Structure 1
């Protein structure tokens, strides 16, 4: 179910991905729920509502639930879009809690074609890139409750492996193999 107006559609494979992610314990426990993933994996909508998993001591949604329900998506989306020849990591995040969340909010993650092309071009030229992506939790009327800025690192797999080798990092620090 789309939470935002979009011309993008959900495919059977993106629906199945959404189903699996919503039942993955580390995401399910946040209280957030993915409502839509576009077939090209460039748009994702999440809702968050007050319930027993998200309730804090003062009757609003817990700040940990607010942040953790948005944490992985930009990194995952860039991993899916760029594919196995690239390495993508979360580097940092900035969160601003604007007002207490008392009911239900929504957030949209959007990766533009321009960002993808710029990322690939910068990686081609420099081997790696770091960039920031914004997002915000809002209600149906557009009132903002929390804003986020996620800092993402992306590199070619070849560049990243050479970088690790030059720092004598052990395999424990290497990302897992993706197929």
Structure 2
């Protein structure tokens, strides 16, 4: 499925904390004016943080992609790269916040850059995370109310 975004996985660490991708400018990703389609720039980043967190947090959590924003900084006229990193600090914050509030939206960011580090797009992902028990109870209440 991921290959259809135009993106290519370069590296996935064994613990899922680091994912590196590239988005080549080629005949599949090139638009009418010769640069990477904006949709490809977004879709190559879609789902990565969610999949990382599902694998890292395990079965006691529910993780959903909730929304995204992309800010194009310059036309994608060459191969672009992104690194999705889940830090110890972020994992601790998730644990602490979910322990206290049971659910929360987390704002995570990633940039699409060239090899020199020039930013072509800034992407913000909003990821919903809840304890599985809380989420299942919330879902039951919603179903019972309907």
SS in 1 for 2:5: coil
TM-score (norm 2): 0.95
SS in 1 for 2:21: strand
1:75 to 50, 60, 72: 50
Other-structure match for 1:116? 91
Following superposition of structure 1 onto structure 2, how do residues 68-147 of structure 1 map, counting pairs within 5 Å?
68-147=43-122
Other-structure match for 2:3? 28
Which digits, 9 at most, give the CA deviation of each residue in 1:147-175, with x for residues without a partner? 00100110111100111111117xxxxxx
1:56 to 31, 53, 56: 31
Other-structure match for 1:148? 123
Which digits, 9 at most, give the CA deviation of each residue in 1:76-120, with x for residues without a partner? 101110001110001111100111111111000000111111101
Give, in angstroms, the shift of residue 65 of structure 1: 0.6
Give, in angstroms, the shift of residue 123 of structure 1: 1.0
Which digits, 9 at most, give the CA deviation of each residue in 1:106-151, with x for residues without a partner? 0000001111111011111111111101100111111110000100
TM-score (norm 1): 0.78
User: Which sections of structure 1, spanning at least 5 residues, go unmatched?
Assistant: 1-25, 170-179
Given that 1:30 and 1:53 are in contact with CA atoms closer than 8 Å, whether structure 2 keeps it comes out as no
SS in 2 for 1:28: helix
